[in-house]
Amino acid sequence: MDDLNPFPPGFLWGTATSAYQVEGSPLADGAGQSIWHRFSHTPGLVQGGDTGDLACDHYRRHKADVALMAELGLRAYRFSVAWGRVLPQGRGRVNPRGLGFYERLVDDLLAWGIAPMVTLYHWDLPSALDDRGGWLNPDSAGWFADYAGVVFRALDDRVRLWITLNEPWVVTDGGYLTGAMAPGHRNLFETPLAAHNLLRAHGRAVAAYRALGRHEIGIAVNLEPKYPASEAPADREATARAEAYMNRQYLDPILLGRYPETLSGIFGEAWSEPPPSDLEGIARPIDFLGINYYTRAVVRADPGQLPTRASPVPQPGVLYTHMGWEVYPQGLADVLEWVSARYGRPPIYITENGAAFPDPAPEQGCVDDPLRVVYLREHLRAAHGTLGRGVDLRGYFVWSLLDNFEWAYGYSKRFGIVHVDPATQARIPKASARFYAQVIRSSGAAVFQH
**Cα(415)–Cα(184) distance, rounded to whole angstroms?**
23
Which of 121, 143, 130 has the alpha carbon at shortest distance from 182? 130
What's the distance, CA 374 to chain centroid? 22
Is 148 domain-assigned? yes
CA dihedral 11, 14, 20, 26 (to 10 degrees): -110
**Cα(329)–Cα(327) distance, rounded to whole angstroms?**
6
Residue 76: pLDDT band (50, 70, 90) is very high
What's the distance, CA 33 to chain centroid? 21
Active site residues: 167, 352
Q: Let me know if 218 is exposed, middle or buried by CB neighbors in 10 A (0-12, 13-18, 19+).
A: buried
**Cα(381)–Cα(386) distance, rounded to whole angstroms?**
9
Give me the DSSP letters along 329-351.
HHHHHHHHHHHHHHTT---EEEE
Q: Over the chain, what is the mean pLDDT?
A: 97
Is 7 domain-assigned? no
Residue 429's domain comprises 12-448
Is 43 domain-assigned? yes
**Cα(117)–Cα(292) distance, rounded to whole angstroms?**
14
Supply the CATH number for residue 304's domain: 3.20.20.80
What's the distance, CA 117 to chain centroid? 12
Is 291 domain-assigned? yes
β-bridge partners, 353: 398
Is 4 domain-assigned? no
Is 39 domain-assigned? yes
Amino acid 22: pLDDT:
98
Q: How confident is the model over 2-28, as a mean pLDDT?
A: 92
* % of the chain beyond a pLDDT of 70: 99
* % of the chain beyond a pLDDT of 90: 98
Give me the DSSP letters along 35-93.
HHHHHHTSTTSSGGG--SSSTT-HHHHHHHHHHHHHHHT-SEEEEE--HHHHSTTSSSS
Do strands 310-312 and 297-301 pair parallel, antiparallel, or not at all (unpaired)?
antiparallel
Is 5 domain-assigned? no
Amino acid 1: pLDDT:
54
Digit-coded pLDDT (tens) for 154-196: 999 999 999 999 999 999 999 999 999 999 999 999 999 999 9
Residue 4: pLDDT band (50, 70, 90) is low
Amino acid 133: pLDDT:
98
Q: How confident is the model over 392-419, as a mean pLDDT?
A: 98
Task: Assess contact for 320 and 327: CB atoms under 8 A.
Answer: yes
Give me the DSSP letters along 133-202.
TGGGSTTHHHHHHHHHHHHHHHHTTT--EEEEEE-HHHHHIIIIIS-SSTT----TTHHHHHHHHHHHHH
Amino acid 199: pLDDT:
99
Amino acid 43: pLDDT:
98
The pair phi, psi for residue 225, each rounded to 5°, is -60, 145
Residue 81 — left, alpha, or beta (φ > 0 → left; ψ -120 to 50 → alpha)?
Answer: beta
Q: How confident is the model over 409-428, as a mean pLDDT?
A: 97
Q: How confident is the model over 137-154, as a mean pLDDT?
A: 98
β-bridge partners, 117: 78, 161
Digit-coded pLDDT (tens) for 257-298: 999 999 999 999 999 999 999 999 999 999 999 999 999 999
pLDDT at residue 5 is higher than 90: no
Give me the DSSP letters along 379-391.
HHHHHHHTGGGT-
pLDDT at residue 3 is higher than 60: no
**Cα(247)–Cα(243) distance, rounded to whole angstroms?**
5
Is the bond preceding 347 in cis, omega lying within 30 degrees of 0? no
Amino acid 2: pLDDT:
56
Digit-coded pLDDT (tens) for 227-268: 999 999 999 999 999 999 999 999 999 999 999 999 999 999
**Contacts for 111 with CB less than 8 Å, ≥ 6 apart:** none
Is 280 domain-assigned? yes
Residue 13 — left, alpha, or beta (φ > 0 → left; ψ -120 to 50 → alpha)?
Answer: beta
Q: Is the dihedral of CA 396, 402, 403, 405 positive or negative?
A: negative
Buried b (16+ CB within 10 A) or exposed e, 106-127: bebbeeeebbbbbbbbbbbbbb
Count: domains in the chain: 1
